[in-house]
Structure 1
């Protein structure tokens, strides 16, 4: 692997290139903080995809794209005389030092849960009125639910055992079933949301990331359905003309290849 000197030289090279692009490239000259925002979100999702695929070479490439965006924001910030790359790095370094008193101070911790609890308490001392202030409003709902539960658990608002959470899941399912029988769409939607929220909470208790779990299921379904399409095509059949029983035979076959 590269030495620390080589790594710093590489970052410096990227900063120099960004200076050149901002000065000479018409597209780069036009970009603003706002115009880059949606592109940054897209790059972050591409990185997330590469991580799920465990493709280390693709992860490296996508991390480069994300790093480029950070350097780009830093360049625009420096042009506005608001902040530069050093300010960004120093800001996060200062935060890490203040949030890790068990490393840079005399606080004692026993495990990772103690660290998380201290982290949330320190944020409140820094002036935050709620532990939930740090949850972005624009997060997808599933990820947001997971972050909400994780954060409130950090200050002790949590169940004690997975069994208690599973009982809550069962309770919410029963309530959903009751509303389905009554047929009130608004109440069904509310109870369905409660079921999802409790399932996400249960995932946390059994050590599962619900977003990753669902995305893996999405990918598995896509692979199996595309296998179904390809098999039907080889047999000169159209899915719209096949019976569900015929499709189910191929679907079961797909499970041998995509688990």
Structure 2
């Protein structure tokens, strides 16, 4: 049995590979990436690790943990290029944090205080006996992200709407179907129709070259900011949303929108 590669040697090799990819004569794609463009991949790889764990697939877990480690190395390399910090700083920071958080292990406390590229990916899926156009898209991904990925994969084989206008037409159709179900109010039928609407909206974002998850995060934050504004405005008058009328809250909402436009 071959001797295992020492962790320090394996990590140094990975760090050298990343430095080479980011070098002026390295990979054109890797050279132009930044923190924002790499962040979605970081999130995706974390979900793929969770998926391998959920499937109890040890071989896949080795591969996916490597992908996730690469994300840390990637971000650390970009930070080093900017003179911010390097991988050693990252490792030191987490080591120090773990020691601080476990004084019952490392200190004097007696007990714990409870207080490629798609072709390569396709080849890898084939090696794992995953077949079919949609194989390998993790179930653990957020639903909006998975919806975008499912139809993006299907689009590669020609199964797609021609443009965003066609998706909007489909959205109108799905909304009409939901309206038709409202009188009966069957929870299963309503859930089915709402799911169809969300699925189409995810694809509308894809056709517009937008990240649906990022769009929804933005909308969530916008709602949070505006509602907080409403609460603060009501508090000045000694009221809370619970003892205010809808008209009063709507007035605060309109004021929040005006404040954003300034």
TM interval, short-chain normalised: 0.5 to 0.7
Find the aligned partners of 1:206 and 1:155 in 2 and give their Cα distance: 19
The structural deviation recorded for 1:125 is 6.3
User: Residues 132-190 of structure 1, C-alpha deviation per residue, up to 9 Å, x if partnerless?
Assistant: 22211111211111111111112222122222222211111111111112332211111
* TM-aligned CA distance change 1:232 to 1:123, over 3 Å: same
Q: Which moved more, 1:159-168 or 1:135-144?
A: 159-168
Asked whether the 8 Å contact 2:178–2:194 carries over to 1, the reply is: yes
Find the aligned partners of 2:15 and 2:131 in 1 and give their Cα distance: 37
Asked whether the 8 Å contact 1:176–1:192 carries over to 2, the reply is: yes
User: Residues 15-54 of structure 1, C-alpha deviation per residue, up to 9 Å, x if partnerless?
Assistant: xxxxxxxxxxxxxxxxxx99xx8xxxxxx9xx9xxxxxxx
Find the aligned partners of 2:204 and 2:221 in 1 and give their Cα distance: 22
1:257 maps to which residue?
A: 259
2:176 maps to which residue?
A: 174
Q: Are 1:185 and 2:187 an aligned pair? A: yes
2:202 maps to which residue?
A: 200
What residue ranges of structure 2 are gaps of 5+ in the alignment?
1-11, 17-48, 54-67, 72-78, 96-115
Find the aligned partners of 1:258 and 1:10 in 2 and give their Cα distance: 45
Q: Which moved more, 1:196-205 or 1:156-165?
A: 156-165
* TM-aligned CA distance change 1:125 to 1:138, over 3 Å: closer
Asked whether the 8 Å contact 2:233–2:252 carries over to 1, the reply is: yes
Asked whether the 8 Å contact 1:120–1:151 carries over to 2, the reply is: no
1:144 maps to which residue?
A: 146
Find the aligned partners of 1:160 and 1:241 in 2 and give their Cα distance: 50
Q: Are 1:133 and 2:141 an aligned pair? A: no
The alignment of Structure 1 onto Structure 2 pairs a total of residues equal to 168
TM-score, normalized by length of structure 1? 0.53
Q: Which has the higher helix share?
A: 1
* TM-aligned CA distance change 1:234 to 1:120, over 3 Å: same
> Quick one: which of 156, 159, 182 aligns to 2:158?
156
The structural deviation recorded for 1:198 is 1.2
* TM-aligned CA distance change 1:135 to 1:236, over 3 Å: same
Q: Are 1:230 and 2:232 an aligned pair? A: yes
What residue ranges of structure 1 are gaps of 5+ in the alignment?
1-7, 13-32, 38-43, 48-55, 73-95, 100-115
Find the aligned partners of 2:120 and 2:260 in 1 and give their Cα distance: 41
TM-score, normalized by length of structure 2? 0.52
Asked whether the 8 Å contact 1:220–1:258 carries over to 2, the reply is: no
Find the aligned partners of 1:210 and 1:237 in 2 and give their Cα distance: 36
* TM-aligned CA distance change 1:161 to 1:121, over 3 Å: farther
Q: Which moved more, 1:244-253 or 1:119-128?
A: 119-128
Find the aligned partners of 1:152 and 1:10 in 2 and give their Cα distance: 33
Asked whether the 8 Å contact 1:120–1:131 carries over to 2, the reply is: no
Asked whether the 8 Å contact 1:228–1:254 carries over to 2, the reply is: yes
* TM-aligned CA distance change 1:122 to 1:162, over 3 Å: farther
1:210 maps to which residue?
A: 212
